[in-house]
Structure 1
Amino acid sequence: MNTYPIIETQHLTKSYGGTPRVDHINLAVQQGEIFGFLGPNGAGKTTTLKMLLGLIQPTKGSVKVFGKELRNNRRFILNQTGSLIESPSYYGHLTGLENLRVMQRLRSLPAKNIDKVLKIVRLDNHKHKPARQYSLGMKQRLGLAMALLAFPSLLILDEPTNGLDPAGIGEIRELIQSLPAQYGMTILVSSHLLSEIEQIATSVGIISEGKLLFQGTMAALQAQNQAAIHFQTHDPAMAVKVLAAHGYRPRILEQLLVFGAMQDSEVARINEILVSSQISVSRIEAFKKSLEDIFLDLTGKERSL
């Protein structure tokens, strides 16, 4: 396995009219990862991905892919990279098969790759249908087939489930999850659909207003949030007074007593204090935030629109 990140940026910045859209981002994507690039709409995700592919030039900073500087090795890097940015490009009057043949010939790829990718994206039964007659989900899968045609080492996908129905989202999710193990691919996938990234990503980066707020494994992100303990009582205000005499300082949230993470023995002790003080406890719950809650805390944005 390579010792260097597959993707590495240093202080990557893109400004328009003096206003940074991407602001000094240091990304590191390791080999074999599914790296989820999360952010609200307009956060700078697509601008970042375009810079990784050399589609737009950074205002400052550097991009390395496969350990090589992008500016001096773009052809080498792109020969090993597949991408789907914003929306699929295709010739509407050509069939799915014909669109893939155009791409195959332009890139001098083996013809057998066409049948392989059609099966992978489940378009083999629709390959003779004009692309303009495809549903939105089928068009998205055709774009994925084009991105996969060279069986690249790196796959960059920008909102690949955008506009799809739940069944289509599930299909794309399953496909993305299968690629690293089956074909040794590293995948960078951007999304504002947080629940989708939570299900597929091994690592995650969170961007908001052009700034990278978090980067690490999904486990590390979840570890930032220790479980809180909630007590439901018939008289929260009185419960707070009683517990204060024993050194506890819970806060009240929606008529619940909220404590930080604690051992089971301490939970039992608090319950004993309340019951012995004639304050009935009707429920004790451990509450842990979802990835969406953590994301909202970090960005201060609505979860997904």
Structure 2
Amino acid sequence: MDQIVATYNLSKRYGNTYRVKDVNLSVCEGDIYGFLGPNGAGKSTTLKMILGLSRPTDGKVTVFQKDFEANRRLILSQTGSLIESPSYYGHLTGLENMRVIQKLRDVPDKNVTEALKIVRLENQKNKKVGQYSLGMKQRLGIAMAILSFPKLLILDEPTNGLDPAGIGEIRELIKSLPQRYDMTVLISSHLLSEIEQMATSVGIINDGRMVFQGSMDELKNKSRPTIVLKTKNNKLSQKLLLSKGLACEEHDDSLVFENLTDEQVIQANRSLVEANIDVLRIEENNKNLESIFLDITGKESSL
């Protein structure tokens, strides 16, 4: 599939400190690409460089397989974005705010009607935005971003501050965009649970560096099951099994094995029984995505 966004050793330095360092990000056509990382990891800085809002210290950006700096106007005409928080005039209505963006984008009236309908604000369009709830303001920001029905939509933490119902609405809206409107979506978040439910591909950034990039399935495949075995005498069991080439660690009154085959599990159990050591329990534990995220970043999955 065609690359819609690509960065090459993209870096941003403030003083002597790199906020983003050598990031190689790749978003393919039709993706919902989840850009994931703890707060302060460099997500917003990266997105700002992709949009030309911040100049890279090193590296380059291509969008639609064109160099950004050489094709800025063309690229931005086909890109919609919502970075950090929506910008709006609080004393104007939702519709009047949309009209402002309509003039800037030079799009027909039907786009305004359709965008407001998509974000479910058609019945609140004549209300002043200053009186909108936080969720309504976020939806208005997304409506502004999709007003020209761009090929690329970039959303920076679009569910920040929303209640569970509002998060669910935004999530379902984003999931519908690629199929309904042929949009490619690049969305950042520090909430793994949100990215997991909508993204097809994911990139994880930590301390300014990309530490994982691939499909959601590839991320899930990083979950290596462990075998947890509990016996009446774990110390003796560990020594016996090590002599059989089965290394393990003792943790929480159990022995933990990684990457054991079914045959090795059978061998371990048989060896213990033959040594008259009572086996109390054998379990297989699979890491969930939050555990994988913690392993990759060394930080909590929701900060």
Match of 2:67 in 1: 69
* C-alpha RMSD over aligned residues: 1.6
Moved more, 82-91 or 20-29: 20-29
Q: Matched residue of 1:161: which SS?
A: coil
Match of 2:14 in 1: 16
| Per-residue deviation, 1:118 | 1.4
Tell me the amino acid that sits aligned with residue 130 of structure 1: K
Q: Matched residue of 2:143: which SS?
A: helix
Match of 1:28 in 2: 26
Match of 2:126 in 1: 128
User: Alpha carbons of 1:137 and 1:282: their partners in 2 closer, same or farther (altered >3 Å)?
Assistant: farther
Question: Contact conserved, 2:223 with 2:289, CA < 8 A, in 1?
Answer: no
Match of 2:41 in 1: 43
The whole-number CA distance in structure 1 between the counterparts of 2:12 and 2:261 is 47
List gaps (5 residues or longer) in structure 2: none
The whole-number CA distance in structure 2 between the counterparts of 1:245 and 1:39 is 42
Moved more, 277-286 or 288-297: 277-286
The whole-number CA distance in structure 2 between the counterparts of 1:304 and 1:210 is 17
The whole-number CA distance in structure 1 between the counterparts of 2:150 and 2:49 is 18
Q: How does 1:1-305 map to 2 (within 5 A)?
A: 2=2, 5-305=3-303
User: Alpha carbons of 1:175 and 1:232: their partners in 2 closer, same or farther (altered >3 Å)?
Assistant: farther
Tell me the amino acid that sits aligned with residue 206 of structure 2: S
Q: Deviations over 1:88-110 (max 9, x none)?
A: 11111111111112111221111
| Per-residue deviation, 1:238 | 2.8
Give the TM-score normalised by the residue count of structure 1. Answer: 0.94
Q: How many pairs were matched up?
A: 303
User: Alpha carbons of 1:133 and 1:282: their partners in 2 closer, same or farther (altered >3 Å)?
Assistant: farther
The whole-number CA distance in structure 1 between the counterparts of 2:13 and 2:87 is 27
| Per-residue deviation, 1:52 | 0.5
Tell me the amino acid that sits aligned with residue 221 of structure 2: A
The whole-number CA distance in structure 1 between the counterparts of 2:237 and 2:95 is 69
The whole-number CA distance in structure 1 between the counterparts of 2:222 and 2:88 is 43
Moved more, 138-147 or 227-236: 227-236
| Per-residue deviation, 1:119 | 1.7
| Per-residue deviation, 1:245 | 3.8
Q: Deviations over 1:199-219 (max 9, x none)?
A: 211111111111111111122
| Per-residue deviation, 1:276 | 4.1
| Per-residue deviation, 1:35 | 0.8
Give the TM-score normalised by the residue count of structure 2. Answer: 0.95
Q: Deviations over 1:236-272 (max 9, x none)?
A: 2232133234332211111221111233333233223
Identity of aligned residues (%): 60
User: Alpha carbons of 1:168 and 1:277: their partners in 2 closer, same or farther (altered >3 Å)?
Assistant: farther
| Per-residue deviation, 1:198 | 1.5
Runs of 4+ in 1 over 4 A off after TM superposition: none
User: Alpha carbons of 1:208 and 1:278: their partners in 2 closer, same or farther (altered >3 Å)?
Assistant: same
The whole-number CA distance in structure 2 between the counterparts of 1:184 and 1:262 is 44
Tell me the amino acid that sits aligned with residue 211 of structure 2: L
The whole-number CA distance in structure 1 between the counterparts of 2:300 and 2:284 is 25
Moved more, 40-49 or 241-250: 241-250
The whole-number CA distance in structure 2 between the counterparts of 1:84 and 1:229 is 45
The whole-number CA distance in structure 2 between the counterparts of 1:232 and 1:160 is 45
Tell me the amino acid that sits aligned with residue 230 of structure 1: V
Moved more, 269-278 or 160-169: 269-278
